Structure 1
């Protein structure tokens, strides 16, 4: 289970059906079948519209662009399984990561986790965190108000959550995590004007993660019992972003 995750609860939305058969019977000897097929152009437009709807739930994370941080230039790049699966699966098999994400083992476990988001309704977007041109972390930007997490705290419309892991051991334990958490929270608040709060729910046992969120300007809001863990609800409010 991800360290700040109650699971990325994305719902699979069936795609458009390219053809429908309607049978009409007239008596016992005759049967006609009317084959209705949607034009390919219509199907393409529907697919594009579905993709746009998914992007709209989080205001097009892929278009948020780069942000300057004390650690370097950073940006979020939406995951493509065919390109990124080996790297992310390798990170998931690091024992320090596996303890909280529980996606160690065959590559298919990570692939299923990613594709559940990529083929879902857009409420969670998996991303690589790229620092000075090098992929070095994995992020999930998600609509906390549309996630199962919302059953466990007083969610507000457009609350946006983040999950993350730092992939490179050399980037852990020296403040890079908190620097990037603050940068991503700033991106969320800048690019999602309807969002008043960024939230996270690290495992209570994951003290480095909790400390990183506190250092990034999040406040401790509550302890919550989620289905797979006891978590710390962390909140960063737009109203105090320039103070903390």
Structure 2
């Protein structure tokens, strides 16, 4: 599939935990049944950081209050609006921006009062609803978000803000603490990603792969204990799988989850400079 189409429907959507005896979780959006991570595991031998000069340049490039991506009319979301700390994921709210080939990008943890109308609209897009199953009244989306925000911090819902404009929805989660870990050879601090690109105008342009690569880099830079970033897009969602591949993830296995058959995608720290 051409690289420009890799994120045409980037909706690495969630599934629900149907397992008996599972304790209540703050976010019921990720689990699996069956399947395991195949192949040898690489050793985590690198502690990689961006050079101070680059970080300083990125900080200078962050849009100021009210600055939006040209032609979008969006509004910048600033770090002082972030919710409580999320220690299980090393404080995503303080990760800051990252420079990408398509502009400065930042993960901003969700605030329901501010962000529910936008996320609810995205969830009602048929291309998104097919894989996230949260279409309809915004109450279902609110409940989905609230379970994460009021939980123990193992999953953090975020807006993806590109050049000052919210344009994607992300869930960054501790895969090793998730029911998904029952179904593959999880390692401590494995970190998972879910993503949807919000507007049709932002799909089909290669943004998904570029931003997945950037967010995986953020995870590996900000979480030095994490050796692998993982994802489990629906196997039918070929554009989503292609976006992960273009972002340096490898296809590891097919896994049977309660609501889907998924492609288990893995990006290894020790292969980071090679892909």
Q: Which has the larger radius of gyration?
A: 1
In the alignment, the residues of structure 1 paired with residue 253 and residue 25 of structure 2 have an alpha-carbon distance, to the nearest angstrom, of 27
SS of 1:220's equivalent in the other structure is strand
3-state SS, counterpart of residue 236 of structure 2: coil
The 5 Å alignment of 1:5-154 reads 5-7=14-16, 11=25, 52=85, 55-154=86-185
The normalised TM-score by structure 1 is: 0.81
Residue 188 of structure 1: aligned partner: 219
Deviation at 1:228, TM superposition (A): 0.8
**What residue number does 2:12 align with?**
3
Q: How much does 1:7 deviate?
A: 4.2
Alignment check: 8 A CA contact 2:16 2:258 kept: no
- Kept in 2, the 8 Å contact 1:10–1:124? The answer is no
**Could you tell me how far apart the structure 2 residues matched to 1:131 and 1:166 are?**
11
SS at match of 1:241: helix
Task: Supply the RMSD in Å over aligned alpha carbons.
Answer: 1.4
Question: Residues 53-97 of structure 1, C-alpha deviation per residue, up to 9 Å, x if partnerless?
Answer: xx1100000100000001100000000000000000000000000
Give 5+ residue unaligned stretches, structure 1. 13-50
Counterpart of 1:166 in structure 2 is 197
| Shift in Å, 1:170 | 1.1
Please, which of 201, 221, 231 is the counterpart of residue 252 of structure 2? 221
Structure of greater relative contact order (alpha carbons < 8 Å, 6+ residues apart): 2
What runs of 5+ residues in structure 2 fail to find an aligned partner? Answer: 1-10, 18-22, 27-83
Partner of 2:229: 198
For the Cα contact (< 8 Å) 1:10–1:123, is it kept in 2?
no
Task: Point out 4+ residue stretches in structure 1 off by more than 2 angstroms.
Answer: 2-12
Q: Which residue of 2 aligns with 1:211?
A: 242
